[in-house]
Structure 1
């Protein structure tokens, strides 16, 4: 008996609350689910509304895809498509790493204010003030910023 290759399906229009654990549980009714990946925003970690599910068997993936395409779930109509084997990238199911944006910004702001950085900040502020004065002048308001 020949070893079957895994099959990957794309699921679009995911409803809110239907994420990794729910997808794995739901699609396991069709067969063995190897991997699940919900696409998420790097900045906010919120889901983008689509996911990929890898099944152990390509035929099972095709059956699941046909069964779930157009399926109405939580006021959304799911869109399911088979992903051709040549389009499955090795990093498609990589683990999502949440970037600690707040911590990075806190560290950036904690840096000492160097002379060069201070000059840059002053230039940016002066440029913003000039643009604002020009905008006010176009609107007919005579006002000068310090």
Structure 2
């Protein structure tokens, strides 16, 4: 069955993937309506023909995008080829600026192929655009377009500090330890491949931390006080 598109339905899109705080209000960016996207009647004969045809979505990757060619411009430009279901402009996490490449998903794979062929090598504002069709079976699209409707905002230093210093659960600590162990293993493999014999250890000295905690604890202070009294008594007996 073909989808009926309404002029009043604005598509919403996000700039980047990224993780935003749950405490912040979710902001969305409204996209413009494209001319010629109104309702149209479909014949029953066309509907019967289309039942036998399976339409698969297509995904293209764009690189070399000029500055100023952002989400709204991408959507309005590529909608002339066909229906754009999702798109993602990759932005910098520090500055929020465009990194010059994006992913556009079309409703039909044939439309995506035509768009990639026409846009590959296209000169736009002194920048040469490169475009290629991506195999969706070899690509995790759900991870790519996660939170794609959410508007990307750069976090302030205060928000970064609160996020870093937040109280973590046991599961989060275990995941971070696993990631750290994987990084150490990769570094160890690189050293072994280079012929360097050196065993890497974790950058957090756990033993020293435990010793410091024992020193700060009140039980250790009592022990230290008792040991100091004993030593003074022994010295007095020797005299």
User: Shorter-chain TM-score: what band?
Assistant: 0.5 to 0.7
Secondary structure of 1:25's match?
A: helix
Relative contact order: is structure 1 or structure 2 higher (C-alpha 8 Å, sep ≥ 6)?
Answer: 1
1:3 aligns with 2:58: no
Structure 1 residues 107-122: aligned runs within 5 Å:
none
> Is 1:44 aligned to 2:95, yes or no?
yes
What TM-score do the two structures reach when normalised by structure 1?
A: 0.68
Q: Describe how 1:62-73 pairs up with structure 2 within 5 A.
A: 62-73=113-124
The corresponding residue for 1:116 is none
Pick closer, same or farther for the CA change 1:78–1:2 going to 2, 3 Å: same
**Conserved? CA contact 1:8–1:88, under 8 Å:** no
Cα gap change, 1:6 to 1:107, in 2 (>3 Å): closer
Give the 3-state SS of the residue equivalent to 1:49 in structure 2: strand
Corresponding residue number in structure 2 for 1:61 = 112
Give the match for residue 100 of structure 1: 155
Structure with more strand by fraction: 1
The CA distance in 2 between the partners of 1:4 and 1:105, in whole Å, is: 44
| TM-score normalised by structure 2 residue count | 0.42
SS in 1 for 2:114: helix
Which runs of 5 or more structure 2 residues have no equivalent in the other structure? Answer: 1-51, 164-239
* 1: CA distance, partners of 2:139 / 2:90: 15
User: RMSD value over aligned CA atoms?
Assistant: 1.8
**Looking at CA atoms only, which structure, 1 or 2, has the larger radius of gyration?**
2
- Work out the CA distance in 2 between the residues paired with 1:80 and 1:29: 16
Q: Give the unaligned 5+ runs of structure 1.
A: 109-146
The number of aligned residues is: 108
The runs of at least 4 aligned residues of structure 1 exceeding 2 Å deviation read 94-99, 101-108
